[in-house]
Amino acid sequence: MAAVAVKYPAFRELGAEVLAISVDSTNTHKEWHEKELSRIVEGGALFPMISDPGGKIGFLFGVYDGKTGLDLRSHFLIDPQEVIQAVEVLATPVGRSVAEILRQLRALQHHQATGEFMPCGWEPGKPTLANEEESPSISGKIWEVWKPRNAF
């Protein structure tokens, strides 16, 4: 959450909004924000932290664990038409990669703007694959455009 708070301006520059949702109470969010997060990140979280007691939202998104009463660590990228474009669910011990979430957001926005497809590891400025209209013409020739080294 702290890394998301640090990179929140990058999300806003991309026109994205961040919502943090957990089963914790609003008092728990407030206390954690004041005692912990604001000491890690100056100003703390500038995005909403939403309390979801009982995990109703988590259940709707398929990440609520009824046995533990907690949401699984996850993120969702939802486009302006309210379509889920990316989902990542992580084991509790594994932290998120905010850089990867931003990369995915940039890739989705690039695709929406150009129709091009982003291959593995795509970053702005790296080669893309043909848009939907040109796809049949490069079928079987992707090797000419993209190399595995482009993924790293």
Q: Which residue has the higher pLDDT, 92 or 78?
A: 78
What is the SS3 string spanning 62-101? CCEECCCCEECEEEEEECCCCCEEEEEEECCCCCCCHHHH
* Of 24-38, 116-130, 135-149, the least confident: 135-149
In this prediction, residues 32-51 reach a mean pLDDT of: 93
Give the CATH H-level superfamily of domain 2-92: Glutaredoxin (3.40.30.10)
Q: What is the pTM of this model?
A: 0.88
| pLDDT (tens digit per residue) in 97-130 | 999 999 999 999 999 999 999 999 999 999 888 8
pLDDT at 144: 81
**Domain extent listing, the chain:** 2-92, 115-151
Q: What is the mean pLDDT of the chain?
A: 92
CA 35 remoteness from chain centre: 26
